[in-house]
Amino acid sequence: MQALSLGALDWLVIASYFLIVLGLGFYLKRYTTSQDDYFLAGRRNSAWVAGLAFLSANLGALELLGMTGNTFKYGMYVAHFYWIGAIPAMLFLGIYMMPFYYSSRIKSIPGYLKLRFDEKTRVLNGLAFAFMTLLVSGINLYAMALVLRTFVGWDWTVSIWISAVTVAVYVGMSGLMSAIFTEIIQFFLIWFGLFLVSILGIVEIGSVHEILQRVPESFATLWSTSGDPSKNGMMITWAGIVLGLGFVLSFGYWTTDFLVVQRAFSAKDLRSARMTPILASFFKMALPFLVILAGLIALALSHTPGSGFALLQEGGQVNYDSALPLLIARYYPSGLIGLGVTALLAGFMAGQAGNISAFNTVWTYDIYKSVINKNASDAHLLWMGRAATVAGVIISVGTAYWAKSFPSIMDYMQAIFSWVNAPLFATMLLGMFVAWITPNGAFWGLLAGMSSSFLMFLAVKFHWVDNGVITLSTSASDMAANFWRAWWAWSICFVSTIVISLFTAKKPEAELVGLVKSMTPKADESQVPLMRKPQTWAVISIVVLVALNVYFW
Amino acid sequence: MKSIWFFVGITLSVMGALVVVAGVIDVVSPPLRQTMLGSLHPALWWGILMVCAGMIFLVREKKQ
């Protein structure tokens, strides 16, 4: 494929995006005067602002390209990532977990671990999160440079440095506030920049029904072929989807990953914080109409003789990530191409800004202030946050070059989440809902969960054990292996934490008030109108989720 | 401090206007390489939609 040809107006669209985000950084700097402003965006955001940022922090271009490509590869099963693999966890966060997070006035997830358990559990999770965040941030940069080089013909090094410096400037100046602002702008740019692909695809093919008719039957259903892994594109059973993705990976990511939860911490009050993931759940459910639909359109076109549509081939391998850029090249004239490229750029940069703003908070509070300088002043911590932003961006650039030397590094993304987030969810769940879980139980359980997940990954990678031992199936995709490894890591952490807690010293009950459900007085909500209650909106969200799953069964 | 919706309005209006200009140029002087469904002039009407959306955000902000 020839690189997309950009005209003067395309360049103007791209340049206007850079000017707007840099201008935002400068504008917001004057309102960023304290550590709360820098790390928590002043805690003054409405549920709508926090909710859109909560969703957008997860909506990187890597996900857009990857999920469109995965739909081409696995079919409609990829929608599970947006529905059962996200919505129940987001609602659980809003209804059950957010009151403990928000009311304890913590600045980060490791901060909760310090209050509920002890310092060593906080530092262990802080270090793991910082490592994971910088790795993901670097991979994000690497992926962006790869896409821009392949499809727009831009130089690798120039792409990496321009976006890295832009992110360092606007996050460095105003921290989480500018990260949230740009994430919301990115949300609108993604919809306006990419949804037209789906619209024009439907117009060309005729209807959504016709699109589904043209793809293989096993690619056009959600659950009806999940009884037998050999009959669906993802080669997975319903049990793997429900336990691995729907429970462990999903809850591990959406309820404990500070990258997304930090956005809810920026809400102005507890109700807004609880509504943050609930509102986001409605937008999350809409995303398959952008991402999955585009993937199915690409698949349908490739099955249509004479359409002239085929994915790129590299070294005999199909490049699934080329699906979305090829559709942009097919449908977008000058002007719109600039908008499409800007949407991808905005996604990449907002994804990196999200990682960097989460990293600078965890580094400053959970590693620097906790271990290195316990008496740091407010002004010093603000300075440290800015220094951590610049350092984080530089390390990410290094990670991006490191990722470049590993051709299959993208495969490690889900694996990294299963090392860090899956066991952490077991620790959080037990910590919030079981009062007798002890600090030592949490620490050693978390360590056991993280190391076992890493060992399982190595064991399969180097063929010490067969993949089937972990996936309980003779045929399983890499994606299925990630789901199952996450499930085992969660289980090992869960059981180890319980067993060790039975034999180690508990925390005094007085220290658990506001941190554990049974130790916290229930808030009186009898005077709150029905439509103001987060629970009401959570029920509506569940109803929509069930309806979508039944419709596409 | 101006709210985020003001900046969303500015972004959509500016980018939409640029896309409209590209769409008008497409109509006046059709490109040599025609995209699939290019005859529908998607840049023109999509750009107009973006400008309208941007203006809604700006007007709403001005009222508040």
Q: Spell out the domains of chain A, with CATH numbers in brackets.
A: 8-551 (1.20.1730.10)
Given a cut of 90, whether residue A243 has pLDDT beyond it is no
Pairwise CB contact (< 8 Å): A192 & B50: yes
What is the bridge-based pairing of β-strands A312-314 and A317-319?
A: antiparallel
Please state which of the ranges A12-16, A371-375, A503-507 shows the lowest mean pLDDT: A371-375
User: Cβ of A9 and B15 within 8 Å?
Assistant: no
Q: What was the pLDDT predicted at B14?
A: 95
Test A9 with B22 for CB contact under 8 angstroms.
yes
The beta-carbon neighbor of B7 closest among A24, A31, A335 is: A24
Question: How close is the nearest chain A Cα to the Cα of B18, in Å?
Answer: 7
Best mutation site among B3, B13, B19, B40 for testing chain A: the one with the most A CBs within 10 Å? B19
User: Highest mean pLDDT: which of A32-41, A76-85, A233-242?
Assistant: A76-85
A45 SS3 class:
strand
| Residues B31-53 pLDDT 10s | 877 888 888 889 999 999 999 99
Q: Which helix (H) or strand (E) holds A537?
A: helix A534-551
> CA of B64, closest CA in chain A: separation in Å?
15
Confidence band of A284 (pLDDT split at 50, 70, 90): very high
pLDDT category of residue A412 using cuts at 50, 70 and 90: low
Subunit contact B15:A181, Cβ cutoff 8 A: no
Name the more confident of A408 and B55.
B55
- Sign for the CA dihedral angle at A46, A52, A54, A60 comes to negative
A367: how many CB neighbours lie within 10 A of its CB?
18
Mean pLDDT value across residues A429-441? 94
pLDDT at A1: 54
The secondary structure of residue A481, as a DSSP letter, is H
pLDDT band at A476 (very low <50, low <70, confident <90, very high): low
Q: How confident is the model at residue A249 (pLDDT cuts 50, 70, 90)?
A: confident
Query: In the prediction, which pLDDT does B54 show?
Result: 96
Name the more confident of A420 and A42. Answer: A420
Highest mean pLDDT (candidates A253-257, A397-401, A430-434, A480-484): A430-434
Average pLDDT over residues A427-438: 93
Least confident window among A280-284, A287-291, A316-320, A333-337:
A316-320
The answer on pLDDT for A347 being more than 90 is: no
Among A9, A49, A184, A199, which would you mutate to test the B interface (most chain B Cβ atoms within 10 Å of its Cβ)? Answer: A9
Calculate how close chain B gets to A327, using CA atoms only, in Å. Answer: 10
ipTM: 0.95
Other Cβ atoms within 10 Å of B33 Cβ, number = 9
Of B15, B35, B36, the CB nearest to A13: B15
pLDDT at residue B38, as a whole number: 84
Q: Which of A20, A180, A331 sits opposite B11 (nearest CB)?
A: A20
Interface of A with B (CB under 8 A): 7, 9-10, 12-13, 16-17, 20, 24, 27-28, 31, 49, 180-181, 184-185, 188-189, 192, 196, 200, 203-204, 330-336, 338-339, 342
* Set of chain A residues whose Cβ sits within 8 Å of the Cβ of B10: 20
Q: Which two tokens stand for residue A316?
A: 């005999």
Alpha-helix runs per DSSP H in A7-155: 8-29, 35-40, 47-56, 61-74, 87-92, 98-103, 109-116, 119-147
Is A20 close to B35, i.e. CB distance below 8 A?
no
> What is the model's pLDDT at position A406?
58
Q: What are the sequence ranges of the domains in chain B?
A: 4-29+38-63
Residue A35 buriedness (CB in 10 A; 0-12 / 13-18 / 19+): buried
DSSP bridge pairs for A319: A312
Residue A490 CB burial class (10 angstroms; 0-12, 13-18, ≥19): buried
pLDDT at A174: 85
pLDDT of A77: 84
Per-range mean pLDDT, top range of A157-171, A407-421, A444-458 = A444-458
Q: Which of A16, A184, A333 lies at the smallest CB-CB distance from B42?
A: A333
Q: Write the pLDDT tens digit of every residue in A211-235.
A: 988 888 878 888 777 777 677 766 7
Question: pLDDT digit string (tens) for A261-282?
Answer: 888 988 988 899 999 999 999 9
Half-sphere exposure of B15 (CA within 13 A, CB side): 36
Number of CB pairs, chain A paired with chain B, less than 8 A apart: 100
**What integer is the mean pLDDT of A12-38?**
88
Q: Which of B62, B11, B28, B20 is nearest to A19 (CA)?
A: B11
Residue A402 banded pLDDT, cuts 50, 70, 90:
confident
pLDDT for res A88: 94
- Is the pLDDT at A411 greater than 60? The verdict is no
- Which pLDDT score, from 0 to 100, does residue A66 have? 81
Q: Using CA atoms, how far apart are residues A255 and A388, in angstroms rounded to an integer?
A: 25
Torsion, Cα of A516, A522, A523, A524 (10° steps): 170
Q: Is the pLDDT of residue A3 over 80?
A: no
Amino acid (1-letter code) at residue A314: E
- For A290, phi then psi, to 5°, come to -100, -50
Q: What is the mean pLDDT of residues A294-308?
A: 89
d(CA A150, CA A93) in angstroms, rounded, equals 39
Q: How big is chain B, counted in residues?
A: 64
| Tens digit of each residue's pLDDT (9 = 90 or more) over A171-209 | 888 888 888 888 899 899 999 988 999 999 999 999 989
Average pLDDT, chain A: 86
Give the span between the Cα atoms of A342 and A64, in whole angstroms. 13
Helix or strand holding residue A317 (H, E):
strand A317-319
pLDDT at A290 exceeding the cut of 60: yes
